[in-house]
Amino acid sequence: MARIPFSIIKYVRFLWMSEKVITYLHIDAQGQLVDWGGYPNYYGLVNLVIGKQATEQISFLEGLLPVVHTEVIQFLRVGTSNSAHVHIVPYQSHTWVLLFDATAEHDRQQKVQQQANELSILNYRQSRLIQQMEETWQALTEEKQQLEQISQAQGRFFVTLSHELRASLSSIINNTDLLDIPLEEYETHYLTTIRNNADHLLSLIDNSLEQTKLEIGQVVLRPSRCEVKQTLKELENLFLPLAQEKGLTFTLESQPTIPSFVMIDGLRFRQVLINLVNNAIKFTEQGFIKVTLDWQDDQLKFAVADSGPGISPESQAKILTTFHREKIAYHLPGVGLGLTMSFNLIQLMGGELKIKSTPAVGSLFSGFIQAPATGYIPVVAETSQIITTTSLARILIIDDDVVNCSLIETTLRERGYLVVSTYDSRDAIQLTRQIQPDLILMDLLMPHLDGYTMIQRLREQQFTQPVIAISASNFEHDRLYALTSGCSDYLVKPINIEQLLAVTERTLCKC
Amino acid sequence: MIQKKICMIGDFAVGKTSLVARFVRQTFSDKYLTTIGVKIDTKLINLSQQQIKLILWDIAGSDALSTVTASYLRGAAGYLLVVDGTRKPTWDTALNLQELVNSQIGNKPFIFLLNKADLQEQWEINNLDITEQLQQGRAVIHTSAKIGTGVEEAFMQLAMKLLNNPLD
């Protein structure tokens, strides 16, 4: 192989040295700079003085000398100068410091590292942000749960309070009913006023109670076979006189597609329609009210249209809020519950309610509920002979509410029953043994001995006759609890006289 | 003249270069530029009627001590452990690095610098963590290279420690 000429080697060496910007510093055993070569300025080493201490001139050597083995310091920069790989080489008690240019490599590495570090910081900030959002979400969820608990507690308090109010109101209403005797005109007027106001209060309490129960999820639907056309007829009977009184055209339309019977909670559906029609009549001063019913795909569709004042778009967003009342309604009766209740009930029945309204033209409240069609079930008429078969029955009433107790007692006596009553539940067991009643009517919440315990004791003593519960609570779960505890029926205060008699007679008839 | 080598140690992007720039040149830049290898700066200070030349080794940030990084520590008289107060992991890194540096160059004076003190609303370092270090007799200084808080104090305090260090 031919030898490379010396001149070529020299040329390559020059190129390599130029590219690496090789610089050397020669330091003696005393640490003094003996000599230097290359390009120290390129590395930020200026004004080097031969014979002077190296560490005073070349700052990065502080603490490093002397070295035993070769030390390498990669990517060293003095100030803002170029980057160097520094080799500190010991040689015969002297030290040689060699500097090689690393600027290009430095810049390459910096570019890569810069991106990596920025990405890492970005990831960290992002993960912290997500963590903070999760913490905020968690805090909000806890806050929401607390608020829900407070709301539930308020709801329960309101329910308890309203039961107390209902109990007192029932006494007032029942006592006015008892005053079924010839009275002076002014006395009749007073009595009517008392009765009307009591009815209004009771309706208010019932609606508030209903809404609260809807809000805390205590309303249970009781679907049964419902004759839709009958519901329409009832609506007509209820509202036609009112509409006529205001000079309004009131029409009801039902499509022929509607089955004779559908499986819905008829009571609740009627409640919804009554609320919607009632509102329509209340707000419409002239023109019409039109109620339409249709049925398709197991859905009962309804629409209540009116030519009333209409609702502005802003108000439409608010009218479903509990106790919200439009300015126009301030002088009208009501507290702003009907529409909210209707909306909630419709949702509970698996449907929806839509509102379309144009101010000064009218409103349309339409929607649907789930209503599967069901077959026709013949209703067996109850006979009036029941009374004759049960009128000599012995009935025991146990109720600490003296007024309620005497009302039931009076009513049943007037029907010819043999009635014994007690206000103290502690006497009840003894009385039962003595008179052997055919039926017991019993309040559930009483001091000393509550109704549930009483039934248990009576059953333990082989008392097999029916017991009808009386309660101020119209909660479904209370009714069910009473029935599973051994009651044959459940009456809610204020006692409806007709219902009391019907249930009493029906129960006795079964004995 | 007395010369002392001081190393700036800590995770990446905690502000080591910015602290040196603030101390040496009274400058600050919001732009983050990562350091590769090591940057040498010097500053003359007067302390206890002595002129001292501080040789500052601004070492590339890392959460561990590589062989290359370890080579930068040789001959250091003390060091500053820099933490980004808005990133808790950099505090843990600093604690870890302190132990590694200690095993590499022995027991040398050092100070924890909780940098970016101007961003208190984003602060992530728990006061209990700081108290724990203080209870061990370690120095912790809040600094802000951006507004200059605690910077001069940090370097001067370390320089004082170096002067008073009987082992050096």
Q: What Cα–Cα distance (Å) separates residue A471 from each residue in A43, A223, A407?
A: 99, 23, 15
Residue the block writes with tokens 């309204």: A357
Q: How far is CA A334 from CA A67, A161, A282, A288, in A?
A: 99, 20, 10, 21
Average pLDDT in the A117-134 region?
A: 94
CA neighbours closer than 13 Å in the CB half-sphere of residue A9: 4
CATH hierarchy code of domain A6-101: 3.30.450.20
Residue A376 sits at φ, ψ, to 5 deg, of -80, 130
Rounded distance between C-alpha atoms, residue A83 and residue A105, angstroms: 9
Residue A303: alpha-carbon gap to chain centroid: 28
In chain A, domain spans: 6-101, 128-215, 224-374, 385-510
Which residues in chain B have Cβ-Cβ distances shorter than 8 Å to A66? Answer: none
Give the amino acid at A377: I
Name the percent of chain A lying above pLDDT 90.
Answer: 38
pLDDT in tens, B3-61: 999 999 999 999 999 999 999 999 999 999 999 999 999 999 999 889 999 999 999 99
A307 confidence band (pLDDT: 50, 70, 90): very high
The top-level CATH class assigned to A385-510 is alpha beta
CA distance A189 to A172: 16
Interface test with B, best of A58, A69, A73 (most B CBs within 10 A): A73
Instruction: Assess if CATH 3.30.565.10 describes domain A224-374.
Output: yes
Domain residue limits, chain B: 2-163
Q: Find, in chain B, the residue whose alpha carbon is nearest to that of A77.
A: B39
Q: Do B38 and A59 touch (CB under 8 A)?
A: no
Q: Shortest CA distance to A118 belongs to which of B10, B61, B57?
A: B61
CB contact residues (below 8 A), chain B span 132-151, against chain A: none
Q: How confident is the model at residue A383 (pLDDT cuts 50, 70, 90)?
A: very low
A400 compared with A53, residue with greater pLDDT: A53
Q: Is A77 within 8 Å of B77 when comparing Cβ atoms?
A: no
* Mean pLDDT in residue range A120-130: 94
User: Options 3.40.640.10, 3.40.50.300, 1.10.30.50, 3.40.50.2300; which CATH number does B2-163 get?
Assistant: 3.40.50.300
Please give the pLDDT value at position A376: 45
**Is 1.10.287 the CATH number for A128-215?**
yes
Top mean-pLDDT range of A282-286, A301-305, A397-401, B128-132: A301-305
By CB neighbour count within 10 A (0-12 exposed, 13-18 middle, 19+ buried), where does A106 fall? Answer: buried
Of the partner residues B34, B42, B55, the one whose CB lies closest to the CB of residue A117: B34
Most confident of A332-336, A483-487, B103-107: B103-107
Contact between B64 and B53 (Cβ < 8 Å): no
Q: What is the pLDDT of residues A336-377, one digit of tens each?
A: 677 888 898 999 999 999 999 998 899 999 999 999 987 644
